[in-house]
Homo-oligomer: A and B are copies of this chain.
């Protein structure tokens, strides 16, 4: 399913940095910035895409703009042998924007967006109602004190 995981070199890293700085910049502009030829940039970008280096566009959409200003993380404890079915059930809840299977206290860490506290309460109830879910622990995110970033890691390779 995944293509051969090809490891990025410094030029790829610089490409990603330039893209982070300006996601809309054209191949010509990138080539110019990096001092490469347009052909090279196009070839590398294609390889990056093919290798799965880019995730879905969803991630760039601000949930707040969609009317979901609140984010919460819900730790979910489940009957482990029902895990597979539970994931399927949870996937039906639209407010769940992401879920990780975890090693640690909880079995699942679910990321939820919601309109307000009452909404969160309702969603939590929906999760609890799933067959095999035993317990949840909800924590509301008060703020994204470090906004998602990859630039420090990119810079380190640059």
Contacts and interface: CB of A to CB of B under 8 A. Distances in A.
Interface of A: 5, 7-8, 13, 16, 19-20, 23, 48, 51-68, 71, 73, 87, 90-91, 94-106, 108-111, 113, 137-157
Contact of A94 (B13, B99, B147, B152): B152
A154 B56 contact: no
Nearest to A104: B139
B141 A55 contact: no
A146 to B, nearest CB: 4
A141 B98 CA distance: 12
Nearest to A12: B65
Q: Is the contact region of chain A dominated by helix, strand, or loop, or is it mixed?
A: mixed
A20 B23 CA distance: 15
A141 B53 contact: no
A95 B150 CA distance: 8
A9 B23 CA distance: 24
B7 A98 contact: no
A144 to B, nearest CB: 6
A103 to B, nearest CB: 5
18 contacts: A16-B61, A19-B57, A52-B62, A52-B64, A55-B61, A66-B154, A73-B109, A87-B145, A94-B153, A95-B153, A97-B148, A98-B147, A100-B142, A100-B145, A101-B142, A101-B145, A106-B139, A111-B148
A95 to B, nearest CB: 7
